Amino acid sequence: MPANEPIEMRSLADDAPAILWVTDACGHCSFLSRGWYEMTGQGEDEALGFGWLDALHADDRPVVRARFARATRSRKAFTLDYRVRGRDGRYRWVLDAANPRHAADGSFAGFAGSVIDIDGRRRSEDNYRALFNSIEDGFCIFQVLFDERQQARDYRFIEVNPAFSRHTGLVDAVGHTAREMLPDLEEHWFETYGRVALTGEPHRFEMESEAMDRWFQGYAFRIGDPADRMVALLFTDVSTRRRQEHALRDAERRKDEFLATLAHELRNPLAPIRTSLYVLKLNEDPETTTRMLDILMRQVDQLTHLVDDLTEVSRITRGRIELRAVDIPLAAVLRNAAESVQPTLEQGRQSLEIDLPAEPLWLRADPVRLGQVFVNLLNNAARYSREDTTIRVSARVEGGEAVVSVRDEGMGIAREHLQSIFDLFTQVDRQHSADTRGLGIGLALVRSLVQMHGGSVTARSEGQGRGAEFIVRLPLQRAGHASQAPVEEAAARPFAGLRVLVADDNRDAAESMGEWLSAFGAETIVVHDGHAALTMAQMHLPHVALLDLGMPELSGLEVAQRLRTVPGAARMRLIAITGWGQARDRAGTEAAGFDHHMTKPPDIALLRSLLQDAHRELAVPASANGSAVD
């Protein structure tokens, strides 16, 4: 304030609740009211001009200086906040607001402004922000949008915490509406939040969103002026728990079905055994005795088969089976299997046709375990087929694999069951056949044993009553003796030198995949959770990472996103192995940085091809292709 201003005006400024100040047209401070000196401890000779800037926090000083200079050039009103050092040495937040002032002739004369203490409010906001950001649950504030009939039609996100994206999978939500981000979002979300916004009654819920493929547990409540229609939502993704609960219920149901099936299957052979024993006790006729003994033998074999299946599945689930692989022709395995099921075929008056290539197809396999595969498939075909029908077995070579088909003329398989029939204890349309169905173990054993040999098995059928075909693919062994030549040895170990990380919380799936990779020469690292996957990938920099998506603590998507930022991992091939295969699932893996998306169980032929590509491009020594690629 110039010296010729009335003393009363200065006194009035000093008594004002805010600190008042004035600058000239060049930005020099020409007046500061008493509050500034009392707060900062500066003297008038220290503060006027540009000296007042010395009382500001060093981090804020250049920003404030630039803002004042820009305002002086633009001559427009402005506000800003910054920290000022008090007499006690503690910094306090203040809000500075200014308006331009003009001389009598209308020319720009500088600014007049005020400074108010907002330290308490600002620190409360900082505490709120820290709390807001630290909440592990998702939290958001949104405005519900209504149509002219007061029906909630959408809601716009105003604020979200960092956990919001983790729980929803949505990014950059602020400023967008729910329908913009999720066009297929269910109506019940709008109805629920609209009711909270209109009535003010909070709502606690646990609901599913099919559009987001998630379950949520949340608490929604209205905030602020009712006219603003603002709702706050605290929520968490409970999809994993819901899936686990569903799996437990399903496991309980399947356990009950299995026990009922086991009781039924045990009674089937026990009934003729008991009857035969009574007949033997009452009748000494040699012909009758022979017939009863044949019945007893068949039924005891059936009991033995049931017990063997139970024992085998127990060994597989505990990882107790070890393959004793040798070089063996496929024809020998199929012939032995055919001999084993011949009594069953004769009993059902069924015939078996086997069509094999003229040239032997050599496998590196455990003859006993591989024999179990084809015995189970042939028994299955006989059991589900009518009398006087033919079961056909054929083999061919396709893409370096032996492809074996077992086709029957039986009751067929509905399309929706073609995948589930390989699950443990699965029974399909049991009521449609009078024959025994076993325990739902055989096909699960087939899949496990084939995968342990590095192969795959699939089922085909044109529907019920039209027969079924099971196709087994097994890697070929180029020669019958692994020690014959370096070329043959390389063929038996096509992934030699390829480092592969396998991460899956299903231990059986991870271990069996690791065994398969190791059998073909890969250097395999097997882990069972996302954190271990990330750690081992950073330590060993594998050429390929096979990542399950639904791992605990750190999902496969999060692992992939983090790996894409790891130095040296730019060329790492990331392959998602998941039970989710819809378009949005594939879009999610692509966005996370995956190179390929494969659904469970993975197509072994395709996986071999992808690994061979990675081996050729990433693991082959520089001398082999003229460039360093590792």
Q: What are the pLDDT digits (tens) for 473-529? A: 999 986 444 434 343 344 457 788 899 999 998 887 788 788 888 878 899 999 999
Kindly compute the dihedral angle of the four CA atoms of residues 602, 355, 520, 535, in this order, to the nearest 10 degrees.
Answer: 10
Least confident of 21-35, 37-51, 261-275, 429-443: 429-443
More reliable by pLDDT, 129 or 428:
129
Burial of 257 (C-beta count, 10 Å sphere; 0-12/13-18/19+)? middle
pLDDT at 268 over 50: yes
Give kind and range of the element (H or E) at residue 234: strand 230-237
pLDDT at 424 over 70: no
Residue 591 has a CB neighbour count (10 Å cut-off) of: 13
Quick one: pLDDT at residue 573?
Answer: 94
Q: Answer yes or no: are the C-beta atoms of 348 and 382 closer than 8 Å.
A: yes
More reliable by pLDDT, 30 or 340:
30
Q: Give the strand pairing for 230-237 and 351-355.
A: unpaired
Quick one: pLDDT at residue 428?
Answer: 55
pLDDT band at 276 (very low <50, low <70, confident <90, very high): confident
Instruction: Name the residue type at position 313.
Output: V
pLDDT band at 466 (very low <50, low <70, confident <90, very high): confident
Quick one: pLDDT at residue 52?
Answer: 94
More reliable by pLDDT, 592 or 515:
592
Write the pLDDT tens digit of every residue in 373-389: 898 899 888 888 888 89
Mean pLDDT for 196-209 is 94
Mean pLDDT for 111-128 is 81
Mean pLDDT for 319-338 is 80
Give kind and range of the element (H or E) at residue 263: helix 239-282
**If you compute the radius of gyration of the chain from its CA atoms, what whole number of angstroms results?**
38
- In three state form, how does the secondary structure of 345-386 look? HHHCCCEEEEECCCCCCEEEECHHHHHHHHHHHHHHHHHCCC
Nearest CA to 53 out of 32, 77, 38 is that of: 32
Cα-based distances in Å from 158 to 122, 172, 173, 198, 228:
20, 11, 8, 18, 12
User: To which residue do tokens 């990675």 refer?
Assistant: 614
* N-to-C CA span, the chain: 74
pLDDT at 237 over 60: yes
Residues 6+ positions from 495 with CB-CB distance below 8 Å: 517, 520, 521, 522, 611, 612, 615, 619
Mean pLDDT for 571-582 is 85
* Beta sheet of 351-355, edge-to-edge order: 351-355, 390-398, 401-407, 469-475, 456-460
Quick one: pLDDT at residue 630?
Answer: 36
Cα-based distances in Å from 138 to 166, 189, 409:
8, 16, 56
Mean pLDDT for 440-459 is 84
Least confident of 57-71, 100-114, 415-429, 570-584: 415-429
Nearest CA to 143 out of 177, 182, 106, 181 is that of: 177
- Tell me which range, 162-166, 197-201, 313-317, 385-389, is most confidently predicted by mean pLDDT: 197-201
Mean pLDDT computed over every residue of the chain: 83
Specify the DSSP class assigned to residue 616: I
Quick one: pLDDT at residue 618?
Answer: 82
> pTM for the full model?
0.37
The two tokens of residue 19 are 């600190």
Q: Answer yes or no: are the C-beta atoms of 231 and 239 closer than 8 Å.
A: no
Residues 6+ positions from 267 with CB-CB distance below 8 Å: none
Least confident of 242-251, 427-436, 575-584, 600-609: 427-436
Quick one: pLDDT at residue 108?
Answer: 92
pLDDT band at 560 (very low <50, low <70, confident <90, very high): very high
Buried b (16+ CB within 10 A) or exposed e, 354-393: eebeeeebbbbbbeebbbbbbbbbbbbbbbbbeeebebbb
Quick one: pLDDT at residue 206?
Answer: 94
pLDDT band at 200 (very low <50, low <70, confident <90, very high): very high
More reliable by pLDDT, 216 or 320:
216
Quick one: pLDDT at residue 313?
Answer: 61
More reliable by pLDDT, 98 or 302:
98
Quick one: pLDDT at residue 281?
Answer: 79
Percent of the chain past pLDDT 70, that is, above it, reads: 83
Mean pLDDT for 587-595 is 92
